[in-house]
Amino acid sequence: MSEETPSPVRTTVDGPILDVVLDRPKANAIDAATSRELGRVFAGFRDDPSLRVAVFTGAGERFFSAGWDLTAAADGEAFEADYGEGGFGGFCELPGRNKPVVCAVNGMAVGGGFEIAMAAEFVVAVEHATFFLPETGLGIIPDAGAIRLPRQLPAVVANEVLYGGRRLDAAEAERWGLVNRVVPADELSAAARDLAGRIAAAAPLAVEAVMAIDRATGHRSLNEAFGHLRSGHLEAYERMLASEDALEGPRAFTEQRDPYWQGC
């Protein structure tokens, strides 16, 4: 009788926090099947009202993720394979995701692994982490990286990473604003969970509204952004304003107690 192959994606739930661990030795590379499994996990996270924030990390200490599984590619898996509902990595293009993800980068974030970190709302990294996009040296391009990185870095830095595969160490990534904080390896889990816990303690509809505003106005001028905000067309913002939680927050403050968020 053959042994069952362990799942490459491990999850645990701690109250409102979902922990997701990518565990594919040796480099946590992602093939299409693993990406689809991540998509199922993050779709469940999106749809579960009891969950408010996810922490995503890689197993081991060397690789967060080596990105696209080149062994699978060499075996015939197409660059444009079906990576699932959420796109490559499970959450990067997940429709309707209105809850934040914290990436705990435990080592090298290479190619698609770097793109996954770029798609997260928050990133905590170990001191030995590195970030790079080797795709042009492989005859392809980093699709998501080519879109996201120029929006997150100065043009000349983004170009060097995209065109020439420049590696950024953790300190540089923090300096350029790609990483919230850098910590020793033995503090990574605690730092990521501390950040996730603070997000989870906030009013869920308010967090959702902030995400919706960012996505709807980030490409607009300030005048256009404020106009859109006041237009009544941002459902998450209007839902937050009309919620019981919007009344509960001031009440809790005046009564000097912790708020009780209902998400409605």
Instruction: Give CA 218 to chain center in angstroms.
Output: 17
- Under 8 Å between Cβ of 17 and 72: no
Digit-coded pLDDT (tens) for 225-234: 999 999 999 9
Residue 67: count of CB within 10 angstroms of its CB: 28
**In this structure, what token pair is assigned to residue 152?**
């997150």
Digit-coded pLDDT (tens) for 76-93: 666 677 899 999 999 999
Digit-coded pLDDT (tens) for 140-156: 899 999 999 999 999 99
What is d(CA 194, CA 192) in angstroms, rounded to the nearest whole number? 5
Taking the alpha carbons of 108, 113, 119, 120 in that order, is the dihedral positive or negative?
negative
* Phi, psi values for residue 105, rounded to 5°: -85, 110
Residue-averaged pLDDT of the chain: 94
Catalytic residue numbers read 115, 135
The proportion of the chain whose per-residue pLDDT surpasses 90, expressed as a percent, equals 89
- Band (pLDDT 50/70/90 cuts) for residue 6 is confident
Residue 53 DSSP SS3: strand
Residue linked to tokens 């308010």:
206
Burial of 233 (0-12, 13-18, 19+ CB in 10 A): exposed
